[in-house]
Structure 1
Amino acid sequence: MAAASSEPVSPANTTVGWIGTGVMGQSMCSHLIKAGYTVTVFTRTKSKAESLLSLGAHWADSPNSLASKSDVVFSIVGYPSDVRHVILHPTSGVLSGLRSGGVLIDMTTSDPSLAVEIHSAATAASCSSLDAPVSGGDRGARLGSLSIFAGGDEAVTTRVTPLLNHLGRVYYMGGPGKGQFCKLANQVTIASTMVGLCEGLIYASKAGLDLTNYLSAISTGAAGSKSLDLYGNRILNRDFEAGFYVNHFVKDLGICLRECQNMGLALPGLALAQQLYLSLKAHGEGDLGTQALVLALERLNNISLKTESSNIKEE
């Protein structure tokens, strides 16, 4: 592989493995196929990889088999337990099949301590690993405009940046685990921003404002945000399809809170957001997108954005 030399990574000298074809992973992997890379894919349900196979990807029946055919292996799965299984399982995991000099890039949002453990295991196997979670949602994945937070060896990050550039913009954050810490800080920021977006809509609705006009009015001022741009109109259109699942966000915020306990930090906004998102799970709404937070606030206030503005009469 080119990453083991000074030769730049390219489709001519680097084969790629991809594990995980969910909302994000499928779009991300497609960019590498379209860029000309030979890509082998694995996912627990083969039917979920059919669109990638139709683009020319090859199929592997295990992470081990996939890794044996790949110079660089990407993973983007659901939970830390999934990461541990697909990477560290002694017989079927990636590191049991990756050749010496291979690179593993885990893009799942996961525990920083697990990223450090994987880095140590990869080093022992004469391989390299990066923790490189991403931000930008389903839209960023489709457009190849994700923010990629890389932790691990800087030289390895530099060598694989030509690959990562097809997915978005790379930010090197430091040693093993630092990519995960950056993503968790990102989630802390998003959580409180989403609470503010939804509470603002609830307030504006109760005040009788036209919500489309309201969003337009605040979007170019200090209240403007990426969350507003991505999710404001989805909320108004009652479009709660997942660009990022509530279930996965609850997982991320739970990791954040555990890290806060380890650090001795008190982040009350994070704790409040976690409770609101847990209430969505309790109502069976865990497979909706994070913008569904508005449903929890509607229930708290016994109103619906669909009807409240129309019920306000001019005095």
Structure 2
Amino acid sequence: MTEQASKKEKVVGFIGTGIMGASMAGHLLNGGCTVHVYNRTKSRADALMSKGAIWQDTPKAVAEQCEVIITMLGYPTDVEEVYFGAAGLIENAKANAVLIDMTTSSPSLAKRIALEAANKGLAALDAPVSGGDIGAKEARLSIMVGGEERFFQAILPLLTLMGKNIVHQGAAGAGQFTKMCNQIAIATNMIGVSEALAYAKKAGLSQEKVLKSIETGAAGSWSLSNLGPRIINGDFSPGFYVKHFMKDIKIAIESAEELELPLPGLALARSLYEQVIAIGEENSGTQALYKVLSVD
């Protein structure tokens, strides 16, 4: 990796311009990067292209043009499709390119990407994020990074364009393991947030006043402060899709089983989110859990 890799003004590929990816790629543009984009639905990249992003028709074309390629995809299967095979990023990336997967995916897949990238003389980092659509829009994501320290340090200036709390967690896969810790904490916390607001309403209280009292005390959390108001306002639009959160829960449970660690709270969250999906809310935000825990 060259000295240029430590500079912000560089040629960056961004694959996956959804709810969060579009904002993240926009910050790279604003930071002076030349950004090449690809998304399965091209129209989701229109706003970025209007700001100067360069469209590429395939992930392979992105790889051939860029020294850093960032992916922000939906599922581990999407990651596998984009990274591997004759048309994948690893096979077609430029010499000394840096591959950064910011998708929430499995730790074992992150390790595989790092190994195969190293065999091709490429750098790879797993760097999942937390903060939802708000954190993405405001460039204050928490970014959890796994991979070699030298690669992390070289690419840190780029990451600071998208996030504020950026921590190198360890070797390849460590970023994804850390994100699973994050999702485990969120899953059970969302149960508490939803039940508390349902209880407040059933007790005849003003949910707004209850939230004002409890969000700055010991019960305070990001979900309570940011998703609590959405629940109260009946806003179940996605900052993070239920279907993607369920994917994360399943990854965490599978990983925990490999570690021989029981997670009863997470198992309960999975069963409740299965109910959310059963009532047709898979494309809603994670706060839609309230709908199966309330009597509204």
| Alignment CA distance shift 1:6-1:60 (3 Å) | closer
Hey, what does 1:74 align to over in structure 2?
70
Q: Distance in 2 between matches of 1:197 and 1:189?
A: 12
> Which residue of the other structure, out of 244, 251, 259, is the alignment partner of 1:248?
244
Q: Deviations over 1:243-283 (max 9, x none)?
A: 00000000000001111111111111110011111111111
**Distance change (3 Å), C-alpha of 1:49 and 1:237:** same
Deviation at 1:94, TM superposition (A): 1.0
Equivalent residue in structure 1 for 2:208, among 204, 212, 229: 212
Matched, 1:39 2:55: no
Of 5, 17, 20, which aligns to 2:16? 20
State the distance in 2 between where 1:46 and 1:205 align. 43
- 1:78-227 aligned at under 5 Å gives the runs 78-88=74-84, 90-168=85-163, 169-227=165-223
Whole-angstrom CA distance in 1 between matches of 2:46 and 2:87: 22
Aligned to 1:310: none
Partner amino acid for 1:280?
A: V
Contact 2:5 2:155 in 1 (8 A): no
Larger gyration radius, structure 1 or structure 2: 1
DSSP-derived class of the 1:244 partner:
coil
| 1:115/1:176 contact within 8 Å kept | yes
Q: Which residues of 2 match residues 285-296 of structure 1 at below 5 A?
A: 285-296=281-292
- For 1:66, what is the secondary structure of its paired residue? helix
Percentage of identical aligned residues: 46
SS in 1 for 2:181: helix
Residue 6 of structure 1: how far off its partner (Å): 7.4
1:146-172 per-residue CA deviation (whole Å, 9 max, x = no partner) reads 000000001100100000000003110
Gaps of at least 5 residues in structure 1 are 305-315
| TM-score, normalised by the number of residues in structure 2 | 0.98
1 CA distance for matches of 2:41 and 2:242?
21
| Distance in 1 separating the partners of 2:4 and 2:42 | 36
For residue 96 of structure 1, report the CA deviation from its aligned partner: 1.8
Counterpart in the other structure of 1:57: 53
CA change 1:215–1:7 in 2 (3 A) is: closer
Q: Across the two proteins, how many residue pairs are aligned to each other?
A: 295
Q: Deviations over 1:208-230 (max 9, x none)?
A: 11110000011111011111111
Offset, 1:93:
1.1
8 Å contact from structure 1 (residues 28, 142) kept in 2:
yes
Q: Give the deviation of 1:7 after TM superposition.
A: 7.0
Separation (CA, whole Å) in 2 of partners of 1:4 and 1:124: 18
Give secondary structure in 2 for the equivalent of 1:129: strand
- For residues 86 and 52 of structure 2, what CA distance do their matches in structure 1 show? 27
- Partner Cα separation in structure 2 for residue 95 and residue 253 of structure 1: 28
Q: Deviations over 1:33-68 (max 9, x none)?
A: 111100100011111110010010101111111011
Kept in 2, the 8 Å contact 1:151–1:173? The answer is yes
What is the CA–CA distance in structure 2 between the aligned matches of 1:7 and 1:222, rounded to whole Å? 43
CA distance in 2, matches of 1:6, 1:35: 15
Residue 189 of structure 1 aligns to which amino acid in structure 2?
A: A
Secondary structure of the equivalent of 1:78? coil
Judge conservation of contact 1:42–1:59 (CA < 8 Å) in 2: yes
Instruction: Please say if residues 64 and 95 of structure 1, whose CA atoms lie closer than 8 Å, have aligned partners that are also in contact.
Output: no
Structure 1 length-normalised TM: 0.92
Unaligned runs of 5+ in 2: none
Name the aligned partner's letter for residue 91 of structure 2: S
Partner residue in 1 for 2:276: 280
Q: CA offset at residue 5 of structure 1? A: 2.9
